[in-house]
Amino acid sequence: MKIGLLCAMKSEFDQLTPYLHITKETDIARTTVLEGDIDGLPVALAATGICKVNAGITAQMLIDKFDVTHILMVGVAGGMDPRLGVHALAFSERLAHHDLNWQWLRHRPMPENGYFPGDPYLLSVCKRLNEEGKFLYPAFFGTMVSGEQFIAEEGRQEIIDAWHPLCVDMESAAAAHACLANDIPFLAIRAISDTAETGAAGFEENEISAADAAASAAAAVLRALAADSRG
């Protein structure tokens, strides 16, 4: 098992790197990829840049060039479900594009009912850790959606009515889409940086602390995967 670890922004990348024992740095396709391990589990970490196109490109690159067997997308997201306050953790049982016309992608693998599934094994590890109280913040499991815009007020209710998501981001569904095309297990782990109540100011205030919350949760998952791989 080798984990591809994706995030979008430098703030998320900087929170993840301290958890890794880094052995190699590669610059490829204008992206820095750090290879190393966490508790002996091989990991390749890259920051995709913001938006779905960047996430899809980088996910495919890790699959093709770094031989990853699983991909985790880790970072911050906007809360859509009122149960999730700032720093709450969201784990993707399923993912969808909220702004995509599927007819233009007929030649690509299509997810069942418009949703990309979160990997059952990765989800089972996360649920086990949650039951054991290993996460620092409340954890929720459900739907995530991704699109090419920051959701403040405009469009929020339409997305909620259509998808009933825990949160919204700009990358996860695209990475999941690349993983589906390559038969690579995928899971997104997001921490809430802003909500309907905080608005955009919440993102500015909580970006670093939410990225830290997501990184801490991902590190716990990676350590558990390392332990599982050792038997």
pLDDT tens digits along 40-57: 999 999 999 999 899 999
User: Strand, coil or helix: what is 156?
Assistant: helix
Q: Where are the domains of the chain?
A: 3-230
| 161 band by pLDDT with thresholds 50, 70 and 90 | confident
Note the CATH architecture for domain 3-230: 3-Layer(aba) Sandwich (3.40)
Measure CA 12 to chain center.
11
Q: Read off the pLDDT of residues 168-190 as tens digits, 9 standing for 90 and up.
A: 999 999 999 999 999 999 999 99
Is 76:12 a contact under the CB 8 Å cutoff? yes
Rounded to an integer, what distance in angstroms lies between the CA atom of residue 204 and that of residue 48?
Answer: 20
